[in-house]
Amino acid sequence: MKPRGFTLVEVLVALAIVAVALLASIRAVGVMTQSGAELKVRLLAQVSARNQIALLRAAKSFPALGVTSSECPQGNIELVCRRETKGTPNEFFRRVEIHVYTRSDPDRFVAELVGILPRER
């Protein structure tokens, strides 16, 4: 009767397969963590944009045409809100676009919201 078992080559091949599978799973976990953090920033940026529109509506203001920027942090994330106010075909309404950027990357906005504000009489 022959002795049964695995040869050294078979063990090394199995070990290589397990190592590749572990590396792939570690990469997948890293990508999931990074996308989760990005999702958190986008969610908080949306909250900041909605807050900017809500503040204008609550104040019943009719903003002047033009572009303004202001800090609008959420939690520990430093965000900058850029408000662009444009006219509409109806002079009693203004189109307000809010673009939210992270302070570390001002070239790429993470949220955008458009609102129409009426002139209060």
Tokens representing 13? 């091949």
* DSSP structural state of residue 121: -
Per-residue pLDDT of the chain (121 residues), as tens digits, is 677 888 889 999 999 999 999 999 999 988 888 888 889 999 999 999 999 999 999 999 889 999 999 999 998 899 999 999 999 999 999 999 999 999 888 888 899 999 999 987 6
Query: What is d(CA 43, CA 110) in angstroms, rounded to the nearest whole number?
Result: 9
Domains of the chain and CATH, by start: 8-118 (3.30.1300.30)
- Print burial letters for 29-44: b (CB count within 10 Å at least 16), e (below 16): eeeeeeeeeeeebeeb
Report pTM. 0.72
